[in-house]
Amino acid sequence: MSCHTATHWNRRTVIQAAGASWLTSLASGLTNAQETARDTKHPPKNVIVLWMQGGPSQRDTFDPASAVSQEFSGGVQSIKTAAKGIEIASTLPMVAEQFEQLSVIRSVVSREGDHARGVYNIKTGFRPDPTLVHPSLGAVVCHQLPSESDIPRHISILASNRPGRGGYLGDAFDAFQIGDPLRPVPDVRSRVNQTRQDARSRDLFDVVELEFAAGRFKNLDDSKTLHQLSIKRAMRMMSSEQLRAFSVEDASRTDLDRYGNTSFGRSCLVATQLVQAGVRCVEVTLGGWDTHINNTEAQRDRIRILDPAMAAMMADLKASGLLANTIVIWAGEFGRTPQLNGASGRDHWPHGFSVVMGGGGIRGGQVVGETNKTPDIRAENKTRDVVNPVTIADIHATVLKALSIDYQQELQTPIGRPMAISKGTPIAQLVG
């Protein structure tokens, strides 16, 4: 179901959905989730990923270099945070007030400096592999920590062209994509009263059954598509009160303003509502960080949107008690060069950048690693000045351990190939 579609449910829509769309995936995923839930010993946990598409500058956000020359600092100053001894960029005053609940890893290193490959690496914990597609972190969390919510468990708001995917776990674990919460989720609200809708549902169910009986879905096995459950799940979602979690209709103007009342801010507000409703992983995207030209001004424009939204979300999660079982992650595909280029911009830099985490089982008020404020970016070994380097795989292992998920376990791909869900080592400073 595309977030740009405005058409209503009809016979063709449901027939196609039952055969091949997210409805089938959603139903089969929820069924697997319920089966797993009977055996799991892990308490339910949640993840919110604030995804900075394009690669944010660590010097303009969580690893400023105010004490060095303009060539490296870009003129960005530092401020103290609520966490003793931690300073971040002065452009994030509201987030600074929440830093007792957050920790920054300043020494993240990656081998991927291309956007597409970098996104894949950060979201899955693995480098791209031509032989298979790895599941994103959100997909793994949904697979391991099921939820019986009426709405999808893995959601991407303001999604870019690279939302979290289910990979070898299957399409059931792909992120369900929606746009600005100001607009209703399309295709899920009936345009008729409940009596007529129930009658239509019975008719549509019969139509799909006839299609299978007639053999028109030649490439589909009805015992595997779970098409009956697909339709029932879809219809249940259409009438569920949990759909209100996607909306900001009930939010006061004061609350919207606290979040900045931008599309990203509204999405962060909805993210808190979704985890309250039982969604396991919510990804909220803020793009525009690819600043090869005029970096300081362009980054500051993005940060004006980020600061109130991230701070309000952390404060509300804490006030509601949700922060105790919700991990918040702030990340992009890589950082940006410590030194400004000739166009006053910063280029791609995977050789020592920042990721921020907090909530759940993550210790707040910590700084992991450090970077040289004035490195030689032409040096052959660009990570030589990074203290306590942390890999992308280590980030994933840390999150999984905090969620009480066995990060060393192996899962089977559809062809029977065993795959570890992480090859990293948890960061002891954050998870013990």
Q: What is the pLDDT of residues 303-360, one digit of tens each?
A: 999 999 999 999 999 999 999 999 999 999 999 999 999 999 999 999 999 999 999 9
360 vs 195, higher pLDDT: 360
3-class SS at 216? coil
Domain shared by 226 and 371, yes or no:
no
State the pLDDT confidence band at 227, using cuts at 50, 70 and 90: very low
CA distance 18 to 226: 8
Domain shared by 15 and 27, yes or no:
yes
- Residue 40 has a pLDDT of 39
Q: Please measure the distance between the N-terminal and C-terminal CA atoms of the chain and give it in whole angstroms.
A: 41
Asked if residue 96 has pLDDT above 50, the reply is: yes
Domain shared by 111 and 63, yes or no:
yes
Query: Which CATH number does the domain housing residue 354 bear?
Result: 3.40.720.10
Domain shared by 237 and 283, yes or no:
no
CA distance 268 to 311: 10
Please identify which residue in the block is written with the tokens 């949107």: 305
Q: What is the pLDDT of residues 133-155, one digit of tens each?
A: 999 999 999 999 987 777 889 99
Return all residues near 324 (Cβ < 8 A) that are at least 6 apart: 359, 360
| Residue type present at position 222 | D
Domain shared by 162 and 23, yes or no:
no
**What mean pLDDT comes out for the span 18-47?**
45
- Residue 1 has a pLDDT of 34
Residue numbers of the domain that contains 397: 43-184+247-431
Domain shared by 293 and 218, yes or no:
no
- Residue 202 has a pLDDT of 57
State the pLDDT confidence band at 245, using cuts at 50, 70 and 90: confident
> Running DSSP on this structure, what letter comes out for residue 192?
S
CA distance 380 to 164: 33
* Cα separations in angstroms, 407 against 121, 136, 321, 420, 422: 17, 14, 26, 8, 6
